[in-house]
Amino acid sequence: MKAFALPILALMLSGNAAAGDPAHGKQLLEEHCTQCHDSSVYTRKDRFITSKEALSKQVHRCAINSGAQWFDEDVADVVNYLNATYYKFK
């Protein structure tokens, strides 16, 4: 039984799962998203993402291109991390 307690506790501590877990997003990003571009595309002057919806679509598109098989929750976590760290959309 003990093996189940920790993940459940972690879920509870991570709070609002629906809003996306940025720490998990960071981990996913580092694992899957550095083959084609590094983080400089998120901060460049002429970046083409101008809304959270667009960010979400782009992450989804890039996730497919990277070959990662992500759930919607994974996409949401990465969007959340990218937004909190670089884009800062409301």
Point out which residues bind ligand HEC (CB under 6 A).
29, 32-33, 35-37, 41-42, 47-49, 55, 58-59, 62-63, 65-66, 68, 78, 82
User: Whole-angstrom Cα distance, residue 44 to residue 57?
Assistant: 19
**77 within 8 A of 28, measured Cβ to Cβ:** yes
Q: Which is nearer to ligand HEC, 27 or 58 (CB)?
A: 58
Kindly state the tokens that stand for 39: 């983080």
In terms of CB distance, is 76 or 82 closer to ligand HEC?
82
Provide, rounded to whole angstroms, the least separation between the CB of residue 79 and ligand HEC: 8
User: Between 12 and 36, whose beta carbon lies closer to ligand HEC?
Assistant: 36
Burial of 30 (0-12, 13-18, 19+ CB in 10 A): exposed
